[in-house]
Amino acid sequence: MTRETVRSRIQEIGIIPAVRVNTAEDAMFAAETVAASGIPIVEMTMTVPGAVDVICRLVKENPGLVVGGGTVLDTETAKRCLDAGACFITSPGLALDVVEFALKHGTVVFPGALTPTEIILAWKAGADFVKIFPCSLMGGAGYVKALKSPFPQVPMIASGGVNQQTVCEFIRAGAVAVGIGRELIPVDAVKRRQADWIRELAGRYLNLIAEMREQMEG
C-alpha cells in the first residue's frame, strides 16, 4: 500500500484499534475480528509478545488490512516492523529519529505529542498525523479543541480516554481519527473468543463517528 492510500484509509475509517493483549494468538484473534467487523486497520503494539511476527502473519494472511506497529520507541524496532510489512508506525511520544526513519522509507508515521511545542516539532519533522496522547489526562476533547485553534492544519488523532461516551466529542473537537484500545477490544472478549462482542462494539463506534461527521457536514 502506498503512503497516500494508508493515510486516506485512516482518515476515512476514523478508528485505529490498538491491540494490547498477552499472547500472539490473542493478538491474531483480536486483529482479525476487528477487521471482519468493518475496521480494516490495526495497530499491533510492541507490548504484545512476538508482536513483529504477528504483524508478518497478519500482512500475509489478510490482504487489504492496514497493519501498523505501535509503541515503537526506536529505529531498530521500526525497521523490524517495516520488514514484517507494517504500513504505519506510531509511538506514544515524540521520537524524532523514528519519524525520520519512517519517512525515509515512505511509511506513514504519527508520533505521540502532548504540548504545543511537541506538536510543532512533530509537524515540522513531517509526521502524517500527530497523536495527542494521553488526551484524558489533559481535559479530553476540550484539550483537542484548544489545540486545533492554533494548529488547524495539523491532522490530529485523539488517543487515551476514547470510549462510547466521548468518541463523538473528540470528532467534534477536530480529531480526524481516534485510537481505541480495550474499549473496543475488551480483554475478556478476546480470552473467551467472543467475536460477537467485539463486532457489536466496532459497529457502535463506526456508527457514532459516521453520525457525528454527518452532523458536522450538515
**Backbone φ, ψ for residue 162 (5° rounding):** -85, 125
pLDDT digits (tens, 9 = 90+) for 54-90: 999 999 999 999 999 999 999 999 999 999 999 999 9
Give me the pLDDT at residue 122, please: 98
Q: Exposed, middle or buried: residue 60 (CB in 10 Å: 0-12, 13-18, 19+)?
A: exposed
Spell out the domain ranges in the chain.
Answer: 3-217
Question: Does pLDDT of 1 surpass 90?
Answer: no
Give me the pLDDT at residue 137, please: 86
Q: What is the rounded distance in angstroms from the CA atom of residue 104 to the CA atom of residue 197? A: 40
pLDDT digits (tens, 9 = 90+) for 99-113: 999 999 999 999 999
Q: How many CB atoms lie within 10 A of CB 95?
A: 22
Give me the pLDDT at residue 206, please: 98
Give me the pLDDT at residue 218, please: 83
Rg of the chain over all Cα atoms, to the nearest angstrom: 16
pLDDT digits (tens, 9 = 90+) for 4-28: 999 999 999 999 999 999 999 999 9
- Mean pLDDT, the chain, rounded, equals 97
Q: Catalytic residues, which ones?
A: 43, 131
pLDDT digits (tens, 9 = 90+) for 155-208: 999 999 999 999 999 999 999 999 999 999 999 999 999 999 999 999 999 999
CATH number corresponding to 3-217? 3.20.20.70
